[in-house]
Chain A
Amino acid sequence: MTRNNTLTKEQKKALRKERYDAIMADLRNPVKKAVRGRKIAGKASSLLRTIVFIGLSFVILFPIFQQLMLAFRHPNDINNPLIVWIPEHWSLVNFTIAIQLTQYWKSLLNTFRVSLITTVFQLASTALAGYAFARLKFKGSNILFWMVMLTLIIPPQVTAASRALYFSNFDIFGLISLFNNGEAIALRGPGKDYIFYIMAATGQGIRASLFIFLFRQFFRGVPVELEESAQIDGAGILRTFWSVMLPNARGVITTVALFAFVWQWNDVYYTSMFAVSSSEFPLLTMQIINTAEWLGNLLLRSDLKYLVSADVRGSSMFTSLIANTEAFLMMLPLLIAYMFVQKLFVEGIERTGIVG
């Protein structure tokens, strides 16, 4: 300040001009311009990214939040317009009814068992096939590969009817009836969950061809040198596959396992096609679908009658509320499991190298 006071007007003007010129030169400097532009672009794109992510995360998370809040709402409050998000009377009535209606623990155990075993079988069959298609090529193996890919392109609806008929009367060229008193066996029907395992083990499980594709792409990307060095060290083909290839494929295995498990867990189509679910062998998805039919009967039971008032009982909104709670209960184990697996899964993708 003191220095400024001693300067004359002209000097001040000159100084100001100098500064102005310096700033302008700085602005006009192409290198600095580019650097600045890049900085601004980076800031802007990260801002945009943040906004998009927050928005999309909201879009994804909101329905889950909604489901949760609805599940805790007391059924008598469904017609109350004052309650928007947070329930006024927190209650577990919906859960009580949903658990009774779906035979929750039993069907949870069944669903878990079916999903787990199919996942293991799917992994085994698709990993073997993927490796064979990628590395153990012979004449015509590409044709076989595209034939298998047909199962991905042709939707399951086409084979639904013929498969259903075929499985209710299963017979391979009369071989089975030969050993079974001239009778074909029914692979399809209530409680016959092994049909899932047979399908999974033979690479016909839910979207198995997609998994074969993923495994093939991954194994194609593994350097050949790795295999060759194992071979030189005296490892056979099985050994190479088991000790060299599979440990490297952790990422794909996690991805495939997660998909196989979740798709089996959520599956409606095959479960209804094979008519597996029954009251002795309940599966979660089927139990949820039957909500509307069974709810009325369940609520006539004396011990449950007093849980909800009579005018609510008949309303369709109440049915939806219960269905919603059931769906939440079905998702809950998956969500909890996902929280633990999620890191492995997301890291797995990065190392999948699905690109071949």
Chain B
Amino acid sequence: MKEKISSWFSALGGKLTQLKNWFLLTKFWAFIEKIVRYISVGLRYVFYPITWIKKRTYDRMRYDNQKVFASILFLTPVLLGFFLFFAYPIIMSFIYSFSEVTIFDGKTQILFGQYLEGPKGEEVAIKDLFHNYKFALQGHGTFIIELWNTVQTTVIDTVVITIFSLLIAVMLNGEYKGRGFVRAVFFLPVVFNSEALDTALEATEAIDQVLTNAGTGSGELAKLFDLTLFMESIGVPVWLVTFLSDITGAIYRTITYSGVQILVFLAAIQSVPGHLYEAAKIEGATAYESFWKITLPMVSPQIVTVVVYTIVDSFLRSEINTIIDYQFVQNEIGYHAAMSWLYVIVSVIILAVAVGILNKVVFYQDDKK
């Protein structure tokens, strides 16, 4: 069968080459070639000024200066995007967080520290400069609690995911049967991300609560397909089932979020020179020892990367985003901005602490730091 298919394909390829050769000899092809040549010559004349300028300036530069020029050229799109689509909005958002923003007829009106003339001729602020922050910290009931929860989950997640992904990367590395399959499966969660489904199910739940008010959400669907129920009914003790299902849930969550991290660690482990392990083996080190003495120090710069990525990622996923986004949906731009700034400040503090701790532990091979 396989041979048949391959022979069929090779026959097809041969026929196609024949067809191509015949086509290249036709007059039509010659005509196209002529046109292309004329166009290219024409283009050369059109772009002559540019090439002339290049000859006079760029080609006369020293190689170092050429490098700087090329570098700026290469960076232009990204820097343009940075200033236009990132720096400007972020400054605006900073301003929003101190002001009263109203959207009227598609136009935004920003009242930043505006003052009114009071009855006695004195200036009275419309709103306190920090009123958005005050609302976020005191007025809003759940924001600060949710922020604290986010911090806790982030810390736990970061530790768990970093250790887990390092272990999995160590295990994935090396020779064993079915390596390709296992690796393919382990990176599936990177591809198979069901954010949309989760949001959709949340929406179902919300609508459901409005409609029936009975509290039977879409969690029902999970029950429908319940492995736990199945196991309980075949006589596995309940505590064991609960324990197993809890641990499976936790593992599933962890593995879904650690795709990129495993990848980074795997690449790092693979770039550790093999002779280090060989030397260690000759000296009589076990695999366990060489993990602690070689693998861990060599991949430790990557731990910083992974930790930073995990913290950012877990902040992005946290519940608090729903609260922040809700303010935006309600057109409370000021609150939205203030809340998101608080959130950034907290996440940056966590990042700084984490990087500060890690930098004392991390081993840099070139020892620049």
Question: Could you tell me which A residues sit within 8 Å of B by CB distance?
Answer: 34, 37-38, 41-42, 45-46, 49-50, 52-53, 56-57, 59-64, 66, 69-70, 78, 84-85, 125-126, 128-129, 131-133, 136-138, 141, 144, 147-148, 150-166, 168-169, 172, 198-199, 201-204, 208, 210, 212-213, 221, 231, 236-238, 255, 258-259, 262, 266, 268, 284-285, 288-293, 316-317, 319-321, 323-324, 326-327, 330-331, 334-335, 338-339, 342-343, 345-346, 349-350, 352-355
B176 contacts chain A at the CB level, 8 A cutoff: yes
Once bound together, how far apart are the Cα atoms of A151 and B183, in whole Å? 30
Contacts A56-B186, A204-B82, A268-B195 known; A153 to B90 CB distance under 8 Å? no
Cβ contact within 8 Å between B351 and A162: no
B157 contacts chain A at the CB level, 8 A cutoff: no
Question: Could you tell me which B residues sit within 8 Å of A by CB distance?
Answer: 63, 66-68, 70-72, 74-75, 77-82, 84-86, 88-90, 92-93, 96, 103, 106-108, 168, 171, 176, 180, 182-197, 199-201, 203-208, 211-212, 216-218, 220-221, 224-227, 230, 248, 251-252, 255, 260, 263-264, 266-268, 270-271, 284, 286-288, 299, 301-302, 305, 308-309, 312, 315-316, 321, 324-325, 328, 333, 336-337, 340-341, 343-344, 347-348, 351
Cβ contact within 8 Å between B108 and A169: yes
Cβ of B260 to closest chain A Cβ, rounded Å: 8
Residues on B with C-beta less than 8 A from A158 are 90, 93, 337, 340-341, 343-344
Cβ contact within 8 Å between B68 and A136: yes
Cβ contact within 8 Å between A289 and B203: yes
Q: Main secondary structure on chain B at its contact with chain A?
A: helix
Contacts A203-B78, A316-B216 known; A161 to B205 CB distance under 8 Å? no
Residues on A with C-beta less than 8 A from B220 are 316-317, 320
Residues on A with C-beta less than 8 A from B79 are 144
Cβ contact within 8 Å between A162 and B93: yes
Once bound together, how far apart are the Cα atoms of A37 and B224, in whole Å? 49
Residues on A with C-beta less than 8 A from B180 are 342-343, 346
Q: Which residue of A lies closest to B81 (CB)?
A: A202
Cβ contact within 8 Å between B74 and A334: no
Residues on B with C-beta less than 8 A from A324 are 197, 221
Report 26 cross-chain contacts, Cβ distance below 8 Å, ordered by A residue. Answer: A59-B251, A60-B188, A61-B185, A128-B77, A136-B68, A152-B312, A153-B347, A153-B351, A155-B315, A157-B324, A158-B340, A158-B341, A159-B90, A202-B85, A203-B82, A210-B309, A258-B191, A268-B196, A284-B196, A292-B206, A317-B224, A319-B208, A323-B204, A331-B194, A335-B192, A342-B180
Cβ contact within 8 Å between B195 and A160: no
Cβ contact within 8 Å between B84 and A237: no
Cβ contact within 8 Å between B192 and A331: yes
Residues on A with C-beta less than 8 A from B185 are 57, 60-61
A-B CB proximity, top 3 nearest: A202-B81, A136-B71, A203-B78
The listed residue with most B CB atoms (<10 A of its CB), out of A70, A136, A321, is A136
Q: Main secondary structure on chain A at its contact with chain B?
A: helix
Cβ of B22 to closest chain A Cβ, rounded Å: 32
Residues on A with C-beta less than 8 A from B67 are 136-138, 237
Once bound together, how far apart are the Cα atoms of A81 and B104, in whole Å? 54
Cβ of A272 to closest chain B Cβ, rounded Å: 9
Residues on B with C-beta less than 8 A from A221 are 271
Cβ contact within 8 Å between B189 and A60: yes
Q: Which residue of B lies closest to A150 (CB)?
A: B86
* From A49, A59, A284, A335, contact of B248 by CB (8 A): A59
Q: Which residue of B lies closest to A218 (CB)?
A: B267
Cβ contact within 8 Å between B344 and A160: no
Contacts A84-B225, A316-B218, A349-B267 known; A148 to B196 CB distance under 8 Å? no
Contacts A172-B84, A316-B218, A349-B263 known; A289 to B199 CB distance under 8 Å? yes
Q: Which residue of B lies closest to A77 (CB)?
A: B224
The listed residue with most A CB atoms (<10 A of its CB), out of B63, B77, B168, B216, is B77
Once bound together, how far apart are the Cα atoms of A338 and B208, in whole Å? 35
Contacts A78-B224, A268-B195 known; A291 to B190 CB distance under 8 Å? no
Cβ contact within 8 Å between B343 and A292: no
Given contacts A129-B77, A268-B195, could you give 4 more A-B pairs where the C-beta distance is less than 8 Å? A62-B227, A141-B75, A153-B312, A355-B268
* From A63, A69, A125, A266, contact of B252 by CB (8 A): A63
Cβ contact within 8 Å between B193 and A321: no
Cβ contact within 8 Å between B106 and A168: yes
Residues on A with C-beta less than 8 A from B266 are 349-350
Once bound together, how far apart are the Cα atoms of A324 and B220, in whole Å? 13
* From A60, A148, A168, A285, contact of B255 by CB (8 A): A60
